[in-house]
Amino acid sequence: MTHTVGILGATGAVGQRFVQLLDGHDGFEIGALTASESSVGESYREAAKWTLETPIPDGIADREVLPTRPEAVPDDVDLVFSSLPSSVGERVEPDFCEAGYVVSSNSSNGRLDDDVPLTIPEVNPDHLDLIEVQRDERGWDGALVKNPNCSTITMVPTLAALDEFGLERASVATLQAVSGAGYDGVPSMAIVDNAIPHIGGEEAKMETESRKLLGEFDGAEVSWHGARVEASCNRIPTLDGHLENVFADLADEPSPAAVARAMRDYPGVDLPSAPESLIRVFEEPDRPQPRLDRNVDGGMAIAVGGVTDTDGGIRYNCLAHNTLRGAAGASLLNGELLADRGYI
């Protein structure tokens, strides 16, 4: 069955990735593209500063850009993907849910709300059933589902693989690509030959979202994981791919070989856009690297390397493509999970 979908904020960096990923998708067909009022009425070609390595898909370039309002989106749209700025998403996404649309959103607003599923299909697909709680509490016919921050989603699958060893604490330092800030996000004179040791709000997102994602859902609420999570986030002059240095304290004190095996064997999920193996473990100590490894399995897998032990636990490096696995691809997987579970 093919579902007709819409993209809110279709002209931005993540919106463009949605367009790219949905081109030729077996289960989803683009039926609506929305953007800010300044772009409404223009063709998508005119409105989007297209920056991706592939051209705008056939049939999309001349599509008219619609207002980001529920009444402007055709009734046959079953699912809406959102890449809106959080300040806009906070205001607009509930309107779509009230109007009966199911929204799979990459925007940061609402991720920690008690009744909003924050979901990675391979990690916590059962959290999706928070939709029933959400609908009861808010009176919506639609629903709102979130994927985590691009830095969080790079680390959390690896922590999920280690939870069997008794995860007690995780510390992470990130080296994040400039595309994570959007097309106009980091001036070239600020980032070239430089590293910026601060990304506003990023540390807090990693420290809170991780614990919600790893938490237990009892059918009514999510109890957050008890591990302590600490983050330091840095912007570096790579285009795509967030590299992270993780230190994990584990109660069972497994060997590096056992940790690597647990990550390598961590199960995937049977969804169209999911990688065959969620975590790819490199034996080389200098991997993964953004330029070499951000596109592993089409940019949808997590790359891991440098697994070693420390006095307190395990150290390793992980990497994911931040606008594919970390943003549009994550929302797309949640959309596929929604379809698979019968929510659309």
CB distance 148 to 330 below 8 Å: yes
Orientation angle between helical segments 150-162 and 256-264, nearest 10 degrees:
110
Cβ neighbourhood burial of 289 (10 Å; 0-12, 13-18, 19+): middle
Phi, psi of 311 (to 5 degrees): -60, -30
Q: What is the CA radius of gyration of the chain?
A: 19
CB distance 189 to 131 below 8 Å: no
CB distance 318 to 288 below 8 Å: yes
> Is the peptide bond between 288 and the residue preceding it cis, with omega within 30 degrees of 0?
yes
How far apart CA 178 and CA 240 sit, in angstroms, is 7
How far apart CA 245 and CA 173 sit, in angstroms, is 5
Catalytic positions are: 150, 242
**Termini Cα distance of the chain:** 11
How far apart CA 128 and CA 125 sit, in angstroms, is 6
